[in-house]
Amino acid sequence: MKYAIGIDIGGTKISMVLGTSSGKILARRLIATQTGSKTQQCLSEMVENLAGLLKDSGISKKQILGIGVGLPGPVDTQKGVVPRSPHLGGWKGFPLQKWLSKKMGLPVFVANDANAAAIGEKIFGLGRRAKHFIYMTVSTGIGGGLVVNRELVEGASFVAGEVGHMTVVPKGDACKCGKLGCLEAYASGTAIAAFAAREIKAGKASRISHFATQGNKLTAREVGLAAKKGDSLALKAYERAGFYLGIGIANLLNILNPELIILGGGVLKSAPRDFWRAMLQSAKREAWPQAFQAVKIVRTKLGDLVGDLGALALVFENERL
């Protein structure tokens, strides 16, 4: 049996797992992400917990092949430095790969988190038998990883797979990235909540209107719960997001013609069925028939572990090369 460690670094938490080459997780630890002046402290805490992870699992360091790390933003997988990211202020430019490798005495592989998740799907998930597939995560943001001819597409500067930032509405809504009309500005959890909040503020009736009026922060989760109870404003917010997600998916079908699209992320969990229906409907309408017929659009089977398993998979993928 082969073992590795996977670290998924997000804006709020860092998840660490120790698992096998068949994707079985033997131990898991979670810590809160600290940024800014607390970055160094957070890194030390991470290393302590990696030691704890080995202890928890009863696996010795000698048995570990390496450590895979998933990070937000376009990661230079050769240099292994933390990229600029709104989620990791203070980490920017930190030579994570080199530092962690020295600290732990193990090979370290870093990658963009959505690319890592695509590798996770390729090795442990539904992508195992697919030659061409796309992993898409629809969460607070929208990210993706492309596998073409069984290889991850990194692109010329590690940006490939930024499917959330294709323009779906010219001169449209502002996206967090600074551009206008991105898919993420229309179909992410943030966009769903923002649309619902806007409608409520405009005076539309909804069972979640107290969220906006009482100054609570509305999230896609609350909108999803209301939608599942039949709230028409909430349903509209999800159907609108589904419509745009379908356009984004259709564009990917026409450009890359994958056999499989695997969807992950929180929005898929909180969404009512109408979201899925609206998404499939517009994907079908906007895609070439031959491309739509050739694809299966499915939800990840790796569940909440897709990020962890992705980071873990980086080790086994790199070992294979």
In the bound state with a second copy, the residue whose beta carbon lies nearer, of 37 and 157, is: 157
Identity of the residue, 109 or 243, whose beta carbon is nearer to a second copy in the bound complex: 243
Which 3 state secondary structure label does DSSP give 146? strand
Asked whether the beta carbons of 115 and 145 are under 8 A apart, the reply is: yes
Burial of 156 (0-12, 13-18, 19+ CB in 10 A): exposed
Q: How far is the CB of 151 from a second copy (least distance, A)?
A: 6
* Residue with Cβ nearer a second copy (286 or 308): 286
191, 274, 147: which is closest to 182 by C-alpha? 191
Asked if residue 89 lies in contact with residue 72, where contact means CB atoms within 8 angstroms, the answer is no
Segment near a second copy (CB under 8 A); pick from 52-60, 62-70, 114-122, 174-182: 174-182
SS3 68: strand
CB of 86 to a second copy, least distance (A): 13
Among 36, 52, 95, 155, binds a second copy (CB under 8 A): 155
CB of 227 to a second copy, least distance (A): 22
Shortest Cβ distance from residue 282 to a second copy (Å)? 8
> Does 174 help bind a second copy (rule: CB under 8 A)?
no
Q: Which backbone phi and psi does 146 adopt, to 5 degrees? A: -110, 130
Alpha-carbon distance of 211 to 78, in angstroms, equals 45
Q: How far is the CB of 73 from a second copy (least distance, A)?
A: 9
Report the distance separating Cα 53 and Cα 240, nearest Å: 43
* Of residues 267-296, those binding a second copy (CB under 8 A): 285-286, 288, 290-291, 293-295
Question: At its nearest, how many Å lie between a second copy and the CB of residue 21?
Answer: 25
> Does residue 72 touch a second copy according to CB under 8 A?
no
Angle (CA) 257-148-289 rounded to 5° is 5
Residue placing its CB nearer to a second copy in the complex, 166 or 225: 166
Q: Which of residues 206-235 bind a second copy (CB under 8 A)?
A: none
> Among 85, 118, 165, 218, which residue interacts with a second copy (rule: CB under 8 A)?
165
CB closer to a second copy out of 66 and 181: 181
**163: contact with a second copy by CB under 8 A:** yes
Name the strand (E) or helix (H) holding 291: helix 289-294
3-state DSSP of 254-303: HHHCCCEEEEECHHHHHCCHHHHHHHHHHHHHHCCHHHHHHCEEEECCCH
Question: How long a stretch of residues is the chain?
Answer: 321
d(CA 17, CA 26): 7
Q: What is the CA radius of gyration of the chain?
A: 20
> Considering only CA atoms, which of 303, 299, 302, 183 is closest in space to residue 249?
183
Question: Using CB under 8 A, which residues numbered 94 to 153 contact a second copy?
Answer: 131-132, 146, 148-149, 151, 153
Based on the shown chain and the rule CB under 8 A, indicate whether residue 37 belongs to the binding site for a second copy. no
Per the CB < 8 A criterion, the answer to whether 165 and 144 are in contact is no
**Binding of residue 161 to a second copy (CB under 8 A):** yes
What is the C-alpha separation between 157 and 151, in angstroms, rounded?
A: 16
Name which of residues 178 to 197 contact a second copy (CB under 8 A): 179, 181
| Residues near a second copy (CB under 8 A), total | 48
Is the CB of residue 181 less than 8 Å from the CB of residue 165? no
* Residues in 233-262 at the binding interface with a second copy, rule: CB under 8 A: 243-244, 247, 250-259
Residues of the shown chain interacting with a second copy in the complex, contacts defined by CB under 8 A? 74, 131-132, 146, 148-149, 151, 153-163, 165-170, 177, 179, 181, 243-244, 247, 250-259, 285-286, 288, 290-291, 293-295
